Amino acid sequence: SKRRRLMMFLPHELIIQILLRLPVKSLMRFKSVCKLWFSLISYDSHFANSHFQLTSSKHTCRILFLSNSAPQTRSIDVETSLHDDSSAGTLNFMPSYLEIKGSCNGFIYFKDFGIWNPSNGVHKEIPYSPIHSNLDANCFFYLYGFGYDHTRDDYLVVSMSYNPDLDPISSRLEFFSLRANTWEEIEGTYFPYMNASDDPRVGSLFKGAIHWLACHSDKSINVIVAFDLTERKLLEMSLPLPDDFDLDPNFCDLWVFGEFLSLWSMGNDSVEIWVMKEYNVHSSWTITLVIPIHGISTQYFSPICCTNIGDIIGLDGTGLVKYDDKGQLLEHRSFGIDEHGSQVAVYVESLLSLPGDRVQA
Amino acid sequence: MAEEVSSQMNSLSISETNPSSSATISLVSGDDIVFKVEPTIAKEMETVQSFIDETDGKITTIPLPNISSHDLPYVIEYCEKSIAGKITKEFEAEFVKKLNNEEVKELFLAANYLNIKKLLDFLSQVIADRIANKSVEYVRRYFGIENDFTPEEEAKLREELAWTFTGVDPDDEDEN
């Protein structure tokens, strides 16, 4: 005989405790449960912040793949197969050319456009910087970044540029504060840096600072520069490699490998992965893995992120490739060569909004 | 089946009654079944402990009208493991395996009533995991929530959020 049970209903404050522990995708679906849930999930920044913190150990990390020739987005959960994708919403504002220049707390920064959270559709435009807007100035922008300053609850877009006509070379560092809604330039500091490689770099966000490879223009050596988002200062660190090491800056970059800041460097048939075991301690740089790339037809592999169990996902020029933590090729997914170029960003799912943003359903 | 279990529990608690152990606390479920527990167990239940404290420990029989004799043994088991420092992932998985979604909800309410923070946190995660892939309709039924959208509003929302409606489990009739 089955015991008769009355249906029991939970009070709203208890339901919130459950909702705080749900993945973003479930919460977005449950916006259509009722109007109360809709506004809680869409507009309550306190709820969104608590949710982001409570689920921090298991944020869903995704790779966004954008093609410049078709207004479509692909999004892949890094913990699943590279072939298992779902649409990540749609870009309801399609600028003519998209360049991804940073990612933080679920937001993706597009150069000359603004910031977008693909999980909840929140977006905000960022105006051109004063240096960018000054048409008389001959400026080369070579470092971009985007990060969060937790002490001020503020997001910063950061860029470095220099005028190649000037000697000696001195870079200018500007940042846009989402909270202040304005650009600011760090003045009175000499930044003897220029681009290490041909293409502009996107910084790696690690321990509250944005890290880039750059060339020290006085010493003519490659270094790591880091912009501390709280102190709002630029630091310099040395690369792990011995001085005589032949580093081609066009074939190496920084990324974050699990809990370490890491450098990958590509040779003819392999990619070396270095990690800085202790932050900002030069002697702690260790070579941790050598990945053979002869199994990849393009002979190119640049790591972008890793999974919970330490598999490494990267780009091969036509799509995504996954290796295990021993350097065994696991999976390959080609998106084909896109003549208009494509863009990739790694982001976590979040419900967060930006200070003073416009909210979309 | 559940009645058998609770009557066993009843006889068990009676057989454990022992005049010398005056320190034990009697918890009386809503359906009048007595459970004898050690005072250390009562300490895990903030609601029970504050009741004991307020009466200077003179009253050791505590009525818990909101908690059934079906749920109370689970609560006691969890508290026993907790004070023994034996809450492991394996124990927790085993603990909720035998509970259906309605039972988990009941236990969650019991944990809230007794103010057992650890059990409350654990069960909110269990419920979250169990509803994560459920349909909007299932969730409305589970929480007793009325749909206050117009059909047009709801259709529009579903269209905008179409990507979130992939990979949803079919509703299980037995669950509700």
Average pLDDT in chain B: 86
Structural domain including A45 reads 12-49
Report the residue of B137, B163, B165, B168 to disrupt the A interface, i.e. the one with the largest count of A CBs within 10 Å.
Answer: B163
Residues A81 and A208 in one domain: yes
Residues A32 and A107 in one domain: no
In a domain, A359, yes or no: no
Residues A49-75: tens digit of each pLDDT: 999 999 888 888 999 888 777 666 788
Domain count, chain A: 2
Is B3's pLDDT higher than 60? no
- Residue A26 to residue B131, Cβ atoms within 8 A: yes
**pLDDT for res B2:** 43
In a domain, A253, yes or no: yes
Residues A189 and A223 in one domain: yes
Instruction: Break chain B into its structural domains and give their ranges.
Output: 2-131
Which fold would CATH assign to domain B2-131? Potassium Channel Kv1.1; Chain A (3.30.710)
- Residue A3 to residue B70, Cβ atoms within 8 A: yes
**pLDDT for res A7:** 63
Per CB-CB distance under 8 Å, the chain A contacts of B165 are 29
Report the residue of A7, A30, A36, A92 to disrupt the B interface, i.e. the one with the largest count of B CBs within 10 Å.
Answer: A30
Per CB-CB distance under 8 Å, the chain A contacts of B1 are 1-3
In a domain, A289, yes or no: yes
Please give chain A's pLDDT, 361 residues, in tens.
344 455 678 999 999 999 999 999 999 999 999 999 999 999 999 999 999 999 888 888 999 888 777 666 788 889 989 988 766 555 555 555 678 999 999 999 998 889 989 888 888 999 999 998 887 778 999 999 999 999 999 999 999 999 998 888 899 999 999 999 999 999 989 999 999 998 899 999 999 999 999 999 998 889 999 999 999 999 999 988 765 566 788 899 999 999 999 999 998 899 999 999 999 999 999 999 999 998 888 899 999 999 999 999 999 988 899 999 999 999 999 887 666 677 889 999 999 998 865 444 3
Residues A209 and A306 in one domain: yes
How much of chain B, in percent, has pLDDT values that exceed 90? Answer: 67
Residues A254 and A188 in one domain: yes
In a domain, A354, yes or no: no
| Facing A3 at nearest CB: one of B3, B145, B158 | B3
Residues A248 and A274 in one domain: yes
In a domain, A361, yes or no: no
Are residues A200 and A155 in contact, defined by beta-carbon separation less than 8 angstroms?
Answer: no
**pLDDT for res B8:** 46
In a domain, A326, yes or no: yes
Residues A94 and A33 in one domain: no
**pLDDT for res A121:** 84
What HEC string does chain A produce?
CCCCCCCCCCCHHHHHHHHCCCCHHHHHHHHHCCHHHHHHHHHCHHHHHHHHHHCHHHCCEEEEEEECCCCCEEEEECCCCCCCEECCCCCCCCCCCCCEEEEECCEEEECCCEEECCCCCCEEECCCCHHHHCCCCCCEEEEEEEEEECCCCEEEEEEEEECCCCCCCCCEEEEEECCCCEEEEECCCCCCEECCCCCCEECEEECCEEEEEEEECCCCEEEEEEEECCCCEEEEEECCCCCCCCCCHHHEEEEEECCEEEEEEECCCEEEEEEECCCCCHHHEEEEEEEECCCCCCCCCEEEEECCCCCEEEECCCEEEEECCCCCEEEEEECCCCCCCEEEEEEECCCCCCCCCECCC
Is B6's pLDDT higher than 80? no
Is B19's pLDDT higher than 50? no
**pLDDT for res B55:** 84
Domain with residue A66: its CATH number is 2.120.10.30
Stated pTM of the model:
0.86
- Residue B165 to residue A26, Cβ atoms within 8 A: no
| Facing A32 at nearest CB: one of B112, B157, B168 | B157
Residues A206 and A284 in one domain: yes
**pLDDT for res A70:** 67
In a domain, A357, yes or no: no
Cα nearest neighbour of A360 on chain B: B160
**pLDDT for res A230:** 97
Residues A291 and A248 in one domain: yes
Report the residue of B137, B139, B141 to disrupt the A interface, i.e. the one with the largest count of A CBs within 10 Å.
Answer: B139
